[in-house]
Amino acid sequence: MKIVLLEPLGISADKLKALGDSMTAPGHEFVSYDTLAQDENEQIKRIDGADVVIIANHPLPGAVIDSDPNLKMISVAFVGIDHVDVDACKRRGIRIANTGGYCNDAVAELAVGLTLDCLRNITACDAAVQAGKGKAGLQGFELAGRTVGIVGTGAIGIRTAEIFKAFHCKLIGYSRSERDAAKALGLTYKSLDDVMAEADIVSVHTPLTPDTKGLIGAKQIGEMKPGAILVNTARGPVVDTDALAQALKAKKIYAGIDVYEKDPPLPADHPLLGCPNLVCTPHVGFDTKESIDRRADMVFENITAWIDGNPIRVML
C-alpha cells in the first residue's frame, strides 16, 4: 500500500517520523511532502501510484483524483471536505474520512475570545496603551447575562454553547436538526429570524453547503439588535460579506470574523478591510498546537482503521 502525504500537516519532524513509521512498520510505503503543490500538475506527480492520499485544507480537484487509478482512500486533515471533488470520489468509489472533532475546543474558544474582544475592546485597549493613551472611550460590557444565539448546533456549536453557559449566558439556537445535548444545556431552539432578532451575540457554526451559503444575509443581519455581535468561525460564505460590511460601517452591530471567502491575506479592496466595530483573525480558529497534533493522529488512525477493514470518521 502506497500512502502519500500531499502537503504539510504543521507538525514537528519527530511527530511526522513517528506517524510515518506507523505506516512503514507493517510494510507500507510512506511518502511525504513538506511544501504545498503549486498547481494540479504538481499534485498529479505527487500522488502517482498512491493507494491513499492525505491532505489538509487545500483543494483536491477531480482531475488530480482521476489521474491516479490506484487511489482508493483520502484521509482529510480537516473537518469539512468541500475542497475535495466529492463527485469524482463517488464515481470512483473512493472512501473519504475526515478528522471531525479535532478542533472543537480550539474553534469554540476563539469564538468566545472574539466575543470578549468585541465586548471589552481588548484590541482597541492594547492599541491605546501602545500609543501612550488611556482608557477614554473604551468602557466595555459584560458577557454575563447576555443572550447567545448558536447557529448550527453540531459538535463545535455545542462546545461553544457550553463555554458561553459557563459565563452565565442564556442560550438560544437555530439548526437544521435539534440536538438533545444542546437542549440539555438549556438551549432553546427557535427560527433563524427569532435567533437573529433576540440574541445579543450570534455565533455561527454551520458547515458550508449549498443550503447554508449566504444563510446570514442582509435580511438576517438587519434583524439584529443595535450593538449586537456577529461571530463567524465557521465558513466565510455562510455570511454575506457585503451586507456585513454595510452594517459595520453604519455602526449598527459589531463582529468577530475568522473566516472569509478565501484565507488571508485579503485583497486590498475586500469589503471588511477598514470597517469599524470589527475584530478579525486570519482563519486561526482550528490552529492550536494541541489541535494540529490531534488531527495528525486522527488522519493516520483513519488510514489504519480503513486498512484493517473497520473504517472510522467516514464522510463518503
- pLDDT tens, 188-237? 999 999 999 999 999 999 988 899 999 999 999 999 999 999 999 999 99
Q: Is 294 left (phi over 0), alpha (psi -120 to 50) or beta?
A: alpha
315 lies in a domain? no
Tens of pLDDT, residue by residue over 18-59, are: 999 999 999 999 999 999 999 999 999 999 999 999 999 899
* One-letter amino acid for residue 85 of the chain: D
For residue 240, the model assigns a pLDDT of 98
Nearest CA-CA partner of 202 in 149, 262, 248: 149
299 lies in a domain? yes
Contact 103, 286 (CB under 8 A): yes
Distance (Å, whole) CA 224 – CA 190: 15
Beta bridge partners of 204: 151, 232
pLDDT for residue 82 is more than 90:
no
For residue 57, the model assigns a pLDDT of 87
Strands (E), 77-200: 95-97, 147-151, 170-174, 188-189
Count CA atoms within 13 Å of residue 148 on its CB side: 33
Mean pLDDT of 15-20: 97
170 lies in a domain? yes
C-alpha grid cell for residue 172? 438560544
> What residues make up the domain containing 129?
104-280
Assess whether 131 and 237 both reside in one domain.
yes
Per DSSP, 259 falls in state -
Mean pLDDT of 265-283: 98
**How would residue 304 be classed by pLDDT, with cut points 50, 70 and 90?**
very high
Assess whether 146 and 55 both reside in one domain.
no
Assess whether 159 and 173 both reside in one domain.
yes
For residue 80, the model assigns a pLDDT of 82
pLDDT for residue 158 is more than 90:
yes
312 lies in a domain? no
- DSSP sequence for 42-99: HHHHHHTT-SEEEE-SS-B-HHHHHT-TT--EEEESSS--TTB-HHHHHHHT-EEE--
Assess whether 169 and 209 both reside in one domain.
yes
CATH code for the domain of 90: 3.40.50.720
**How would residue 260 be classed by pLDDT, with cut points 50, 70 and 90?**
very high
Assess whether 98 and 206 both reside in one domain.
no
Assess whether 63 and 121 both reside in one domain.
no
Assess whether 154 and 294 both reside in one domain.
no
Mean pLDDT of 7-14: 96
Number of structural domains the chain divides into: 2
316 lies in a domain? no
Contact 67, 44 (CB under 8 A): yes
Mean pLDDT of 145-172: 98
Assess whether 75 and 109 both reside in one domain.
no
φ, ψ of residue 4 to 5 degrees: the values are -120, 125
23 lies in a domain? yes
Nearest CA-CA partner of 11 in 291, 313, 304: 291
Assess whether 225 and 268 both reside in one domain.
yes
Whole-number average pLDDT of the chain: 97
Distance (Å, whole) CA 131 – CA 272: 24
More confident residue, 79 or 241: 241
Assess whether 64 and 136 both reside in one domain.
no
314 lies in a domain? no
313 lies in a domain? no
Assess whether 31 and 112 both reside in one domain.
no
Mean pLDDT of 150-176: 97
Mean pLDDT of 79-94: 93
Assess whether 147 and 49 both reside in one domain.
no
